[in-house]
Structure 1
Amino acid sequence: MPRPRPSTALDHLRVLDLTRVRAGPTCCRVLADFGADVIKIEAPPGVDPNEAMSGSRHGSDMQNLHRNKRSLALNLKTDEGRKVFLKLVETADIVVENYRPDVKDRLGIGYETLKAINPRIILASVSGFGQDGPYRTRAGFDQIAQGMGGLMGITGFPGQGPMRAGIAVADSAAGIYAATGILVALAEREKSGEGQWIQTSLLQAMIAMCDFQAASFTVDGKVPPQNGNDHPNSTPMGVLPASDGFINIGVGGEGQWKAFCKAIDREDLTAHPDYANANQRYANRPALMALIGDLTKTQPCAFWLDKFEAQGVPAGPIYAMDQVFDDPQVQHLGMAAPVHHPVRGEIRLIAQPLVMSRTSPAIETPTPESGEHTDEILREAGFPETEIARLRSASII
């Protein structure tokens, strides 16, 4: 019986997934959710001293990162394990790894080795700081990249020190950039018939995600400061108090400013000399935000959100995570996708934020148990039952 595939978009591709923690698994999750046969290659129990780094196998993070994959338990630190892996490379399309740059060379599975076996292979390498350069062998973690990439320097309130983002921005971004590179390489391979080596890092991804804040320095020589919840360039745009919580507002132009003033019944502010244009509003932001906040804190969030919507002013609630998934628009978008887990029962995982007219992604299977598909995968690769049994008795698989 053929295994279920979540989408037909990439169901012609086989991916060898050597990744762990977050950045690499994020990349492979994109491919798996679009139907690629992603084989998660992991060390047999007891081989990897850091095997618990990603948390419990049945925990929410592991389930969310490794769904739609198959699992092969393989000891790559042995010569025979390496030979098994290289045999799989012969018919694979993509290899994804997020070791430190020197590890794959030490294991004998660097790009030149893979290319010699399969010239069409695409290798995607995700590291902390890049495949070369003075920091190439440093271990990389998301928070370190947030600090070095500039995000922590612009996040938080002025004078209160640097602040990390509450999510793994660098990890997730690096994984998505790696997936983008793979898809570009696949498209180019249609013309050339050749694979290539794709490289990205947490540091590169973090700087790229800083985008206009980073360009403020590279183009204009300005070092962007911390602005708390205020937008660095526009006002009023940020967080306002209500009588029962807080809301976000976004006023991006003169038309929206006039609509905003109408919504708060202060149309006189449009003619006030301190707030008559965008530059004046920005220059007098503290006073303006204090004035507006004194008004909005007199009524509940729902009152103001209705008023702003009626005037076409961008505004929204500020949710805790349970409220996020109770929101009717989030439910309509299907961002919590159900899947059955043999141990945990019915669970919901975070869907890909994409809708395709014909080949949308989906979640069909939960994260596999370690080595759950080892025999199946090796049979497909042409290993006879006797050889599979011998590899298992020798603790190679």
Structure 2
Amino acid sequence: MTLKNNTLPLKDIRILDLTSAVVGPYATQILADYGAEVIKLEQQTGDIIRWISGHSPTPGMSGKFMHMNRNKRSISLNLKTEQGKATFMKLAARSHIVVHNMRADALARLGISFAALSEANPDLIYCNIVGFGAKGRYADRPAYDSILQGGTALASLFARNGNEPRYVPYVVVDRTAALMVTNAILVAIYAQTREPGPREIEVPMFESYATLVLSEHLYGESFVPPVSPSGDRRLLDENARPVKTRDGYICITTNTDAQVLALFDAFDRPDLKEDARFNRAINRIDHIAEFFALRASEIARHETQYWQERLAQFDIPCMPCHTLSSLLDDPHIADVGLVEKREHPTQGTIRHLNVPVSMTGYTPTLRYHAPHIGEHTREILAEIGLGDDHIEAMLQAGDAFESD
């Protein structure tokens, strides 16, 4: 199938997004970037990530919020009032997908469970993003990225080479789970083309990330009985990190035998090609600490620029170890137009992050800037058939809210 130019691949998909923070908003933004109509439903105080992720030119528009909520419209409803709840049910009835990351007791209090919504919408896809699976003893516990980094053993991996356990300074569990949410929703959309009917999805963040950590590091304990200890030593060694040069750091990886032999040529150390500890992958596994130590001592002899040029000559994978600031100045980032300056209606000039994925016949574009709380409340209420007087009455009664 060939898409017509400028056709939105998901243009007929309507999503009612009740999520906040990172995992849900990032997932729904991906779908929005490919044309889904995403209505972000917020309480009067708005998504928490508006407020805990730094300052902004106007309140509640943090950079992190803006980078995960473009191409959405925002409506603010009070689901605790009769009129607010009734309006929500109208929105849910016309949506293809409802996605939330609320805890079960909150859903029950509000009466917006899968059973309640699928009765009104018999083809609804209802996605629960939860910290822990409903069948386990941790079900309905609160979960944040740091909690799950620790709980999935990710934080402990730093301690395998003598350091303290620590968090990756990036909400890696949330971001990764968001991709799993997107995948699950797309699968459900496709499944409905073959067999219509309501579908409930559960994406448990703890189990989802635990499978990734275990698949990476279960290693010899994948077998019963174990053939070796857990943990990939290529990743856990103390020198499995950016390598110090005379004036900075460089990132380098050599996995194949051909790459390692080329590295020895780059070092002007052809004698190492005959070293049985290093010249075959199966042997390097048992001597990885020695290999990394050797690499570190050789790299330390020259400056970063020298190694970038030298390693490139031998087609050895390498990059400078960027800071956040220098990453913005990377020439490749400029070549592909990943970061683009745009004018936001209220925030002035912003750095807009374009979608890096390309697709025949479609280029994701910015249709809506990240919204203020309830920025589109009136517009969306009108679309579901409410008149101006009705909308005004809801706003006055506190059933709905709009941005100032």
Aligned-pair CA distance for 1:236: 9.1
- 1:16 alignment partner in structure 2: 16
Aligned residue type for 1:356: M
1:55-204 equivalences in 2 (<5 Å): 57-155=60-158, 158-204=161-207
1:1-397 equivalences in 2 (<5 Å): 8-45=8-45, 52=51, 57-155=60-158, 158-210=161-213, 212-216=215-219, 219-220=222-223, 221=226, 224-225=230-231, 230-231=234-235, 238-397=241-400
Change beyond 3 A, Cα 1:314–1:103: same
> In the aligned structure 2, how far is the partner of 1:72 from the partner of 1:53?
21
Aligned-pair CA distance for 1:61: 0.9
Which digits, 9 at most, give the CA deviation of each residue in 1:28-78, with x for residues without a partner? 111111121111111124x99998456652210111111111111100122
Aligned-pair CA distance for 1:187: 0.7
Q: Is residue 247–residue 317 contact of structure 1 (8 Å, CA) maintained in 2?
A: yes
Equivalent position SS for 1:109? coil
> In the aligned structure 2, how far is the partner of 1:151 from the partner of 1:48?
27
Aligned residue type for 1:224: S
Q: Is residue 53–residue 62 contact of structure 2 (8 Å, CA) maintained in 1?
A: no
RMSD over equivalenced CA pairs, Å: 2.5
Aligned residue type for 1:306: E
Aligned residue type for 1:19: T
Equivalent position SS for 1:146? helix
> In the aligned structure 2, how far is the partner of 1:7 from the partner of 1:173?
28
Q: Is residue 219–residue 231 contact of structure 2 (8 Å, CA) maintained in 1?
A: no
TM-score relative to the length of structure 1 = 0.90
Equivalent position SS for 2:15? strand
> In the aligned structure 1, how far is the partner of 2:47 from the partner of 2:347?
26
> In the aligned structure 1, how far is the partner of 2:366 from the partner of 2:211?
29
Q: Is residue 122–residue 195 contact of structure 1 (8 Å, CA) maintained in 2?
A: yes
Change beyond 3 A, Cα 1:50–1:348: closer
Equivalent position SS for 2:9? coil
Aligned-pair CA distance for 1:272: 2.5
Equivalent position SS for 1:284? helix
Moved more, 212-221 or 75-84: 212-221
Aligned residue type for 1:340: E
Aligned-pair CA distance for 1:138: 0.8
Q: Is residue 29–residue 65 contact of structure 1 (8 Å, CA) maintained in 2?
A: yes
Which digits, 9 at most, give the CA deviation of each residue in 1:321-378, with x for residues without a partner? 1111211222223322443212221211333331111123223332111111111101
Give 5+ residue unaligned stretches, structure 1.
1-5
- 2:3 alignment partner in structure 1: none
Aligned residue type for 1:41: L
- 1:3 alignment partner in structure 2: none
Aligned-pair CA distance for 1:284: 3.2
> In the aligned structure 2, how far is the partner of 1:271 from the partner of 1:22?
50
> In the aligned structure 2, how far is the partner of 1:51 from the partner of 1:362?
23
Aligned-pair CA distance for 1:224: 3.2
